[in-house]
Amino acid sequence: MGDASLFAARYGPVALVAGASEGLGAAFAGALAARGLDLVLLARRSGPLEATAASLRKDHGVQVHTCALDLASDNVVPALQSLGLRHEFGLIVYNAAYAPVGPMLEQDPACLLRAVDVNVRGPLLVLRTLLPSMKRREHGGVVLMSSLAGSQGTPRVATYAATKAFNTVLGEGLWKELRAHGLDVVVSCAGAIATPGYAQASSDAKRPAPGTLPPAAVAHETLRALGKGPRITPGWLNKIAGFIIGRLLPRRWAVAVMAASTKSLT
């Protein structure tokens, strides 16, 4: 069996990708389709979601189902239960995220709560709803997208960074809890990614942050890390930066470094 066949046997037959309409989520979907997995794609906007699904069906010949779902809404659990009854999920990729940018005290409280709903409540409900059946089958995997921003306080995206710290710690705990049941978990602590959302948020998009990676590279390196440990930082420059900021610098210096990297976000 080739690598793609082994991957499909381990994490198939169907992968769920949350936050899949464009950017990194679409890159994950493409990488999984190339490995022969059928897909269920979740996102809030149905138009881009359907366009991504149509492209994947054409390029890879896999089955792709879509569900336009706001992961901050009250009907998340019933929608997930319905999907779980119709599909045998072997892999869950939680990529959905909401990132209010700017000083926290200038943010609408509703935006701050939406970040908590999408970035914290969302993965909790998705995993709690869908993992029990994967545990019974004793094979499968989970990918949680976190961020280097969540390794310390990060000004201008303080709430987003705090939610990503939650995902990192959650994923590391689940890695230990679930490995005895045949399930692999990896948390991807990514640096800047060249997505449409990043281009919109950066006032200096022509000069991306050092270590910025294309979405396909992040998806590839993250999926390759499944089964090898609880945490991955894609990109050698980001690995070095994460080690220096997270392990070597005093905490207040680390926060100052991150402040310098986010000052152009709007």
In the structure, what pLDDT confidence band is assigned to residue 210 with cuts at 50, 70 and 90? confident
Examine the pLDDT at 205 and tell me if it is beyond 60.
Answer: no
Point out which residues pair with 202 in neighbouring strands. 265
Tokens of 83: 């999907």
In the structure, what pLDDT confidence band is assigned to residue 180 with cuts at 50, 70 and 90? very high
Tokens of 185: 């978990």
Domain boundaries, the chain: 3-262
pLDDT at 203: 52
Examine the pLDDT at 6 and tell me if it is beyond 80.
Answer: yes
pLDDT digits (tens, 9 = 90+) for 228-243: 999 999 999 999 999 9
In the structure, what pLDDT confidence band is assigned to residue 208 with cuts at 50, 70 and 90? confident
- Single pTM value for the model: 0.94
pLDDT at 59: 96
pLDDT at 264: 86
Does domain 3-262 fall into CATH 3.90.930.60?
no
The whole-number average pLDDT for the span 47-66 is: 97
Examine the pLDDT at 201 and tell me if it is beyond 80.
Answer: no
pLDDT digits (tens, 9 = 90+) for 132-159: 999 999 999 999 999 999 999 999 999 9
The whole-number average pLDDT for the span 15-40 is: 97
pLDDT at 2: 67
Considering only residues 161 and 210, tell me which one the structure prediction assigns the higher pLDDT.
161
pLDDT at 196: 78
pLDDT at 70: 97
pLDDT digits (tens, 9 = 90+) for 62-105: 999 999 999 999 999 999 999 999 999 999 999 999 999 999 99
pLDDT at 169: 98
